Amino acid sequence: MWEPTFGSSRLGAHVWELTFGSPRLGAHVWELTFTSYLNAVGRDGSGVGDRSEEAVVDAIAVLKADHREVERLFKAFERTGSRAKAAKGDLVKRIVRDLSLHAALEEQDFYPAVRAEVAGASDYVLDSLEEHHVVTWLCAELDRMRPDHERFDAKVRVLIENVRYHVMGEERELFPAVRAALGPARLRQLGQRLEQTKHLAPTHPHPRSPDTPPGNLISGVVAGAFDKARDAGKRVFDEARHIAS
């Protein structure tokens, strides 16, 4: 079922040609994206990827590791001087990428499991989705904004404040309740699913896309494929420009 839709190099070529003008490169990138999908979910569609059971960490550990990495980037941004516009721009690109991936993991896999399996957690998840909504729009604006814009630093500060508030609530309230309700085996299973989703998740914000299943499961794969093609195209362009200079 998936191959005619996402495994088609011809479709990849068409999408890439519309976006960047290079159908041959588009075919290659699209096939690489579909290969990542197969490796992530298993060739038979069973959801079993390449990782051994021993290598799997639980879902809360996966999400906390993301939190630590984003906080490290926040602190690096806060330490960077006001005149270091290029450095700040690079840090924000990484922040936006990491937050986009993290949001996909929570919205596609973690939050639906919590709503279904943790008693009394539904309202907390709905609040979290609204917090994601605010953060995603801020990320979308920063994704298009030059670091020398007068609102750039202010927007990043507001983003950092919102994310820190969200993380504090999750780690103090939600995660302990989830750990108590789900237990180690289920958390490892969910952790494996999060790692699989990360291979396919969007690397840029898509604030108008659905944030709950089933809509976000479909749009997430499509947006992830498009983002990876977009990122690959930018790398090729940047390398060509560097060689030319």
pLDDT (mean) for 120-146: 97
Tokens of 91: 């840090």
The two structure tokens encoding residue 13: 């070529």
Of residues 237 and 168, more confidently modeled: 168
> Would you say residue 113 has pLDDT above 90?
yes
72-100: average pLDDT = 97
The reported pTM is 0.75
Classify domain 55-213 at the CATH class level.
mainly alpha
Q: Quick one: pLDDT at residue 243?
A: 59
Does residue 101 sit in helix, strand or coil? helix
Residues 6+ apart with CB under 8 A from 176: none
The better pLDDT of the pair 60, 53 is held by 60
Query: What is the arithmetic mean of pLDDT over 114-128?
Result: 97
Whether the pLDDT of residue 240 is over 80: the answer is: no
Reduced to 3 states (helix: H, G, I; strand: E, B; else coil), residue 109 is: helix
Residue 229: per-residue pLDDT: 85
Q: 120: phi > 0 → left, psi -120 to 50 → alpha, else beta; which?
A: left
**Residue ranges of the chain that CATH labels 1.20.120:** 55-213
